[in-house]
Amino acid sequence: MDSNSDEICSEVQDDLSVLPDDALLLIFWELSLKDILHVNFVSKRFYGVVHKNYHRLRRREVHSISTKYNESCDNYPFHLEMTIRSVEDRDSHAIRHDDKKAKSIKSFDERTGFLKMFDIRNLDNFIVPVADNLDIFAILNRSFQAGTKIGEMVILELPENFSGGSEHSLRNFLRSRSFLSNIYVLLQQD
């Protein structure tokens, strides 16, 4: 009995190895984010397909992001708060609800990787602080896709002497957004 089940299992594995990555991606595209995270642990090949094509998989839509930066916190200087819109189809009746998610993050790369798990192409609100020693807009240019739509953008604590590379990064960030309806800038007070 064991040899038969081993034989069947190896046949299934052989069948999966015949499927091209694009076919697996179409299957994975139908899964929820939670299921996709579980697929990562099934095999090295599945992990590779998911990791390589994560940006193409269906992700939850984020409608609001608030970023905080605490330069005195060495371990987790970034803190993100997001509002995620979820739609459930229960018997053809769409139910919409918003979930809040907060995460403290260690580095720029971790922040970028975390944001790639979500669809941030159409934001209602985006709140971002500016730090004296950090070119936050250069980081944001790596995190956001070109063509991202932002309804309201609030820039907190912009120093009056804001210039140089940071100003250039801000201009590039604003140029690469396809739609930005309102921008609010709060100046830093000495």
If you average pLDDT over residues 132-155, what whole number do you get? 81
Taking 50 as the threshold, does the pLDDT of residue 11 lie above it?
no
Taking 80 as the threshold, does the pLDDT of residue 154 lie above it?
yes
Taking 60 as the threshold, does the pLDDT of residue 115 lie above it?
yes
Does the pTM exceed 0.75? no
pLDDT at 132: 66
Taking 80 as the threshold, does the pLDDT of residue 55 lie above it?
no
Distance of alpha carbon 144 from alpha carbon 115, whole angstroms: 8
The domain locations on the chain are 2-55, 59-187
pLDDT at 12: 47
Q: What is the pLDDT of residues 62-104, one digit of tens each?
A: 889 998 888 788 788 888 899 987 655 545 455 566 788 888 9
Distance of alpha carbon 128 from alpha carbon 185, whole angstroms: 10
Taking 80 as the threshold, does the pLDDT of residue 35 lie above it?
no
Q: Name the nearest CA neighbour of 51 among 110, 106, 116, 108.
A: 116
pLDDT at 143: 78
Distances (CA, A) of 144 to 116, 122, 141, 182: 9, 11, 6, 18
Q: What are the tokens at 126? A: 């985006």
Q: What are the tokens at 138? A: 């250069």
pLDDT at 152: 92
If you average pLDDT over residues 7-25, what whole number do you get? 65
Sequence-separated (6 or more) residues with CB below 8 Å from residue 50: 28, 36, 39, 40, 57
Distance of alpha carbon 13 from alpha carbon 44, whole angstroms: 12
Query: Do the beta carbons of residue 36 and residue 28 sit within 8 Å?
Result: yes
Question: Which position has the higher pLDDT, 6 or 63?
Answer: 63
User: pLDDT over 70 for what percent of the chain?
Assistant: 74
Distance of alpha carbon 92 from alpha carbon 119, whole angstroms: 24
Mean pLDDT of the chain: 76
**End-to-end Cα, the chain, rounded Å:** 78
